[in-house]
């Protein structure tokens, strides 16, 4: 694992965006794994800027998002499809039909999970996976549990996740209780992964994830076994 210690959020975001852009320059048909949350917003803003300046071309890129709330329509302002379109996908020259996010309204959830796993496999796996981390150590919505789940699945969100995400909803009861998330297999099989984390409230969980025991009770701890993990953070770890 490589840890890049940066000065602040902006430097973290620029470094992450530059690595993603370099990946696309070197391999125009890159398969990107993308994350939502407040942490990657700056990374996406810098990527939009790089694309606008002609430094990176998304026209042949394919993207897969880590997760989506179950029950939210893709047009819902709190859906992750809406978030991704707003912060990145409609602002770069990507073909939107090559951007995949679980459909939170899918009638047959199991079929939807299988569809995503098949699409990732057909795409040859993820070249570069961007990740944030939850206060409980989740990656995507792989919540603390007693096992690592390999494949895409529907998950009950933990109380700490619902609390953390309630800031985006009018009231806590509006936060969906379930989500569809990629499992740990495509994340761990990604050829390169970038983990970004910002804010003192993430220091303890980052220490546990990166230096503690590898356990499904801290899902991000499995990243210690990733073959090419770059951690970018202003935190003293």
Active site residues: 67, 136, 138, 143
- Considering the complex, what minimum distance in angstroms separates the CB of residue 147 from ligand PGA? 20
Cβ nearer to ligand PGA, comparing 52 with 177 = 177
Give the per-residue SS3 of 63-113.
EEECEEECCCCCCCCCCHHHHHHHHHHCCCCCCHHHEECCCCCCCCHHHHH
Single residue of 39, 62, 103, 221 touching ligand PGA by CB under 6 A: 39
Give the Cα separation of 52 and 180 in Å (integer).
32
Close Cβ partners of 132 (under 8 Å, ≥ 6 residues apart):
35, 36, 37, 39, 40, 139, 195, 196, 197
Residue that is written with structure tokens 């939502």 in the block: 36
Decide: is 132 part of the binding site for ligand PGA (CB under 6 A): yes
Single residue of 8, 38, 59, 90 touching ligand PGA by CB under 6 A: 38
- Considering the complex, what minimum distance in angstroms separates the CB of residue 235 from ligand PGA? 13
With left for phi above 0 and alpha for psi between -120 and 50, is residue 179 left, alpha or beta?
Answer: beta
Cβ nearer to ligand PGA, comparing 84 with 108 = 84
Task: Pick the stretch among 127-135, 149-157, 169-177, 225-233 that binds ligand PGA (CB under 6 A).
Answer: 127-135
- Considering the complex, what minimum distance in angstroms separates the CB of residue 149 from ligand PGA? 16
Decide: is 176 part of the binding site for ligand PGA (CB under 6 A): no
DSSP 158: P
Cβ nearer to ligand PGA, comparing 33 with 37 = 37
Instruction: Kindly state the tokens that stand for 142.
Output: 């792989």
- Considering the complex, what minimum distance in angstroms separates the CB of residue 120 from ligand PGA? 19
| 62-65/31-34 β-pairing | parallel
Task: Pick the stretch among 31-39, 119-127, 175-183, 206-214 that binds ligand PGA (CB under 6 A).
Answer: 31-39
Instruction: Kindly state the tokens that stand for 121.
Output: 């496999």
Decide: 190 and 128 in contact? Cβ < 8 Å. Answer: yes
Footprint on this chain of ligand PGA (rule: CB under 6 A): 37-39, 132-134
């Amino acid at each position: 694992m490589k840890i890049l210690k940066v000065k602040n959020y902006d430097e973290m975001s620029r470094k992450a965006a530059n690595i993603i852009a370099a990946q696309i320059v070197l391999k125009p048909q890159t398969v990107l794994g993308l994350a939502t949350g407040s942490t990657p917003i700056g990374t996406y803003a810098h990527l939009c800027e790089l694309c606008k300046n002609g430094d990176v071309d998304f026209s042949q890129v394919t993207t897969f998002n880590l997760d989506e709330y179950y029950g939210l329509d893709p047009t819902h302002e709190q859906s992750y499809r809406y978030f991704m379109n707003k912060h990145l996908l409609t602002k770069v020259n990507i073909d939107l039909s090559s951007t995949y996010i679980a459909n939170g309204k899918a009638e047959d959830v199991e079929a939807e999970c299988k569809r995503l796993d098949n699409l990732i496999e057909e795409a040859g796996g993820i070249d570069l996976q961007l990740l944030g981390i939850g206060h409980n150590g989740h990656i995507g919505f792989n919540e603390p549990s007693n096992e690592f789940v390999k494949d895409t699945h529907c998950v009950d969100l933990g109380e700490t996740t619902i609390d953390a995400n309630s800031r985006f909803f009018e009231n806590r009861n509006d936060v969906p209780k379930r989500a569809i998330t990629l499992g740990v297999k495509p994340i761990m099989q990604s050829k390169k992964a970038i983990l970004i984390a910002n804010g003192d409230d993430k220091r303890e969980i980052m220490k546990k994830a990166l230096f503690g025991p590898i356990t499904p009770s801290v899902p991000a701890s499995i990243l210690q076994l990733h073959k090419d993990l770059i951690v970018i953070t202003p935190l003293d770890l």
